[in-house]
A = this chain, B = another copy of it.
Amino acid sequence: MKDWIDVTMAISPSIMVYKNKEEKMPKFIVRATHDKDGHHESSICMDLHTGTHIDMPKHMLKEGHSSDAFNLESVNGRCVVVDFSKSYKHEVDDEFLKFYKFEKNDIVIIKTKNSFDKTFNYEYDFLNASGAEFLKNQGVKAVGIDALGIERNVPGHPTHRILLGNGIYIIEGLALAEIEEGIYEFMCIPLKIADVEGLPARAFLRSIKDV
């Protein structure tokens, strides 16, 4: 694991969740203890979109496929990290993204001001439809962001639909505070869960060279 930087949110009872919704908070249940049972064993109940996770097309598209058709190659490989965190704006759009050079099958990771939020920020930065359309036209294979949602209160979820509808996976909840803009290798390893619409994952970046 040398040189890999962990960009995963740690899952805990107090992890930041989307809009602070109680039902999205993970719950831990202790089932056995040393004093009573001679060992310690616990369970977790969690929304599949907790912390760092991958959205399957089924999450936003009625006919979209579940994790059964997911391939690890889709979220592993060459990656460009773009830094939107200095912008006064909240919408990552095509105007911002066109200053970067992407290659076909790149994974694009968007660092924003969200990575510095300690509590859920209702005005979080997000990728708008023009940005999603631009990335789709560049032929990227996945898009990651440090928000718990890649869009925000947009009717019809166009960003999700443009990406997931074109075979582009979405990784949400990345922890990018320490990451600088540049070219990286991205490694994203989700749990192997059958037939679901979201996969909790571990994610790492390894620097290749500067942009």
Residues of B close to A196: CB separation below 8 A: 28, 42, 44
- Chain B nearest CB from A189 CB (Å) reads 4
The residue in chain B whose Cβ has the minimal distance to the Cβ of A194 is: B12
Distance of A43 Cα from B192 Cα, bound (Å): 14
B43 x A46 contact (CB < 8 A):
yes
A194 CB contact (under 8 Å) in B10, B193, B194: B10
B47 x A41 contact (CB < 8 A):
yes
Distance of A130 Cα from B114 Cα, bound (Å): 52
Q: Is A208 an interface residue (CB 8 A)?
A: no
B200 x A1 contact (CB < 8 A):
no
A191 CB contact (under 8 Å) in B62, B195, B198, B200: B200
Contact flags (1/0) for A66-94 with B, using CB distance below 8 Å? Answer: 00000011001000000000000000000
B31 x A23 contact (CB < 8 A):
yes
Q: Is A206 an interface residue (CB 8 A)?
A: no
Residues of B close to A157: CB separation below 8 A: 38-39
Which chain A residues (24-61) contact chain B, with CB distance < 8 Å?
Answer: 28, 31, 34, 38-49, 51-52, 58-60
B59 x A48 contact (CB < 8 A):
no
Q: Is A190 an interface residue (CB 8 A)?
A: yes
- Chain B nearest CB from A4 CB (Å) reads 8
Q: Is A8 an interface residue (CB 8 A)?
A: yes
A41 x B194 contact (CB < 8 A):
no
Distance of A155 Cα from B34 Cα, bound (Å): 14
A192 x B34 contact (CB < 8 A):
no
Which residues of A does B touch, CB under 8 Å?
1, 6, 8-12, 23, 28, 31, 34, 38-49, 51-52, 58-60, 62, 72-73, 76, 157, 189-198, 200, 202
